[in-house]
Amino acid sequence: MYFMQDGFRLLSGGILEKLLQKFTSNLFYSILTGVISTSLVQSSTITSLIVISFLSVELLTLVQGVGIIFGTNLGSTTTAWIISSLGVDVKISLYAMPLIVFGVVLRFAKSSAYKGLGNVLLGLGFIFLGIAYMKEGFDTLKDSIDIASYSIEGALGILVYIVIGIVVTVVIQSSAATLAIVITALNAGSIIYINALSLTIGANLGTTLTAILASLTSNENGKRVAFAYFVFNLVTAIIVTIFIHYISDFIDIFAPYLGISSDNYGMKLALFHTLFSIIGLLVLSPFVNKIVKLSERLIKKKVSSHSKPKYLLDANLTLPEAAIVSIKKEIINLYENCQRAMLHAINLHTTNLKTKKDLEVQISKEVTKINTDIDEIYQSNLKILYSEIIKYSSFAQENMTSSQQQKVGDLKRSAKLIVEVLKDTRDVQKNLNFYLRSRNNFIKNEYNMLRKELAAILIDINILNSTKDEIERLTQLEMLKSTIQANDLTNTAKTDKLIREGAIKATMATSLMNDSATIYSTQKKLVEMAAILFIDDSLIKEIGEHVNETQ
């Protein structure tokens, strides 16, 4: 199962991630997406891990995530159907060795797609070989020891075998593997039918541990969806356990309509597994919002330190699309922290600074110095966060295609620019604080204007980030470029005029010229950073190609 999971991850090339993200507009589609994606990759583990990863970087809402997780339970039942049909009618050991051989050969290929195919073949080969060995083993045991004679009937037997199913699934970390063992043992007559049904209930409960373990390194939403997954299987297990004999009788009546013979207990077990998930969906789907609210009450959001990453989760490293979003969101987090420090460094309060009008109000007031040590902020908090981003990006790139690596390279460039603009602000902070207290109103006004221009572009970038329409974002970015260019020309002309008129001293003029150049450079870096973080690069490429065609 490990090889198959890893193989499907490499083969999907981000397709599964895109499927989970796009087709989840409502609860029904979320559940359906969970069913289809899990059926395709034959692993509820892969789907649940991706969902938890996506929730950690806020690509899915909690309701969408819970819907997908509910759907994975039904999707995972296809594994039982495949194993039960193969285990009875086909001598699968004949196919095991060729699959393993071709799987090993393909694993040495350079292409990740071929490696993925190799892992899938290797996984299938081991499953086929494992089932063949288990069947042989159970047949041998049956001849020497009658395991079925140790079966426990009644309510106690049901509970004991549920616990055994939980323990086995927790140990081998795969409900599909547990079901393979149960179906093989059942077909060999090593366990009785009712005990096999109980083991299946236990396997469904045990599989929730995978999601719970994965959620431990996730954020609050990851833990909440794991909790919902546990609630789904626990409530369904209680209902199915209470009515297990009625469900068993229903299967006996319904199975012939599906072409399942009365003595084909493996196929009946697969049908039971499917009914387990259908019952859970019918009972619990109407209560998804309540389950989500309960999970939010029980699992509170933690307030994290500015120096600790919020989105860089190890679970996302092997999922290129999720890793890219993790890196991007963490860099935006870095930018927001740097922006706050920059505004404080130029003596502007961030609490009521959302629009240009708010800025005008603050600029018009007498300057109140805000003690901000940028070096201290950088060394104690932001340097740690920046280092973690670079480290995480480097590891994430190992699992990426060349185009994905290029994206991460651009994102690392944006993080570097953020750190640079913070240091640029530190460089002008001393002169700014000095000249804002000057008795010379001309130099005071010029530094106030530099302060206003830097704050204005930070506000504009925030507005650009909140704009939904991609074309409008691109238009706003071009306007920003034009604005900073015009500001630079205006500032140069004004400085020259002030020198000629003797309004400021030569020492003041040199400081102003240097600081104006630094602010202009800072603004250009901020625009470049905004283009990487907030503009869709595929849109820029598309527009560029359109321009080339028209020329």
Residues 487-542: tens digit of each pLDDT: 777 778 888 888 888 888 888 889 889 989 999 999 999 999 999 998 876 555 45
Distance CA(74)–CA(280), nearest Å, equals 9
Q: Where are the domains of the chain?
A: 2-298, 314-550
More confident call, 147 vs 269 = 269
Q: Work out the average pLDDT over 332-342.
A: 91
Indicate whether 302 pLDDT > 80: no
Q: What is the pLDDT of residue 547?
A: 38
Q: What is the pLDDT of residue 545?
A: 43
Check: CB of residue 206 under 8 Å from CB of residue 168: yes
Q: Write down the mean pLDDT value for the chain.
A: 81
Confidence of residue 305 (pLDDT cuts 50, 70, 90): low
Indicate whether 168 pLDDT > 50: yes
Q: What is the pLDDT of residue 242?
A: 93
Q: What is the pLDDT of residue 16?
A: 56
Indicate whether 323 pLDDT > 80: yes
pLDDT in tens, 261-273: 887 887 888 889 8
Residues in the chain: 551
pLDDT in tens, 182-229: 887 777 777 888 888 988 899 888 888 766 776 776 667 778 888 888
Q: Residue 382 is inside which H or E element, if any?
A: none
Q: What is the pLDDT of residue 131?
A: 67
Q: What is the pLDDT of residue 526?
A: 92
Indicate whether 303 pLDDT > 60: no
Alpha-carbon distance values, 289 to 180, 256, 277, 297, 519 (Å): 34, 38, 19, 12, 49
Q: What is the pLDDT of residue 419?
A: 92
pLDDT in tens, 37-50: 777 666 666 677 77
**Look-up of token digits 């130099």:** 443
By C-alpha distance, which of 119, 92, 91 is closest to 104? 119
Instruction: Kindly report which listed range (13-22, 149-158, 521-530) carries the lowest average pLDDT score.
Output: 13-22
By C-alpha distance, which of 174, 176, 297, 218 is closest to 51? 218
Q: What is the pLDDT of residue 61?
A: 80
Q: What is the pLDDT of residue 209?
A: 77
- Could you count the other beta carbons within 10 Å of the beta carbon of residue 43? 27
Q: Work out the average pLDDT over 219-241.
A: 87
Interhelix angle 288-298/62-75, nearest 10 degrees = 120
- Could you count the other beta carbons within 10 Å of the beta carbon of residue 241? 17
Q: What is the pLDDT of residue 546?
A: 45
Which ranges of 243-382 would DSSP assign to H, the alpha helix? 244-254, 265-284, 288-298, 320-345, 356-364, 374-377
Q: Work out the average pLDDT over 351-373.
A: 83
Q: What is the pLDDT of residue 389?
A: 92
Q: What percent of the chain has pLDDT over 70?
A: 82
Q: Work out the average pLDDT over 284-294.
A: 89
Indicate whether 342 pLDDT > 60: yes
DSSP states of 241-283: HHTHHHHHHHHHHHGGGGT--TT-HHHHHHHHHHHHHHHHHHH
Give pairs for 371-378: CB < 8 Å, separation 24+. Answer: 372/341, 372/344, 372/345, 372/429, 374/341, 374/345, 374/422, 374/423, 374/425, 374/426, 374/429, 375/426, 377/341, 378/341, 378/419, 378/422, 378/423
Q: What is the pLDDT of residue 307?
A: 61
Q: What is the pLDDT of residue 537?
A: 64
Q: What is the pLDDT of residue 90?
A: 53
Q: What is the pLDDT of residue 188?
A: 72
Q: What is the pLDDT of residue 124?
A: 75
Indicate whether 358 pLDDT > 50: yes
pLDDT in tens, 67-115: 888 888 888 777 777 767 765 455 656 777 888 888 888 888 877 778 8
Q: What is the pLDDT of residue 270?
A: 84
Indicate whether 355 pLDDT > 70: yes
pLDDT in tens, 2-12: 676 566 566 55
Alpha-carbon distance values, 145 to 138, 140, 291 (Å): 10, 8, 47
Q: Which of 6-10, 145-149, 284-288 has the highest mean pLDDT?
A: 284-288
Confidence of residue 544 (pLDDT cuts 50, 70, 90): very low
Q: What is the pLDDT of residue 240?
A: 92
Q: What is the pLDDT of residue 107?
A: 82
Indicate whether 175 pLDDT > 60: yes
Q: Which two tokens stand for residue 215?
A: 């959620």
Q: What is the pLDDT of residue 234?
A: 92
Confidence of residue 393 (pLDDT cuts 50, 70, 90): very high
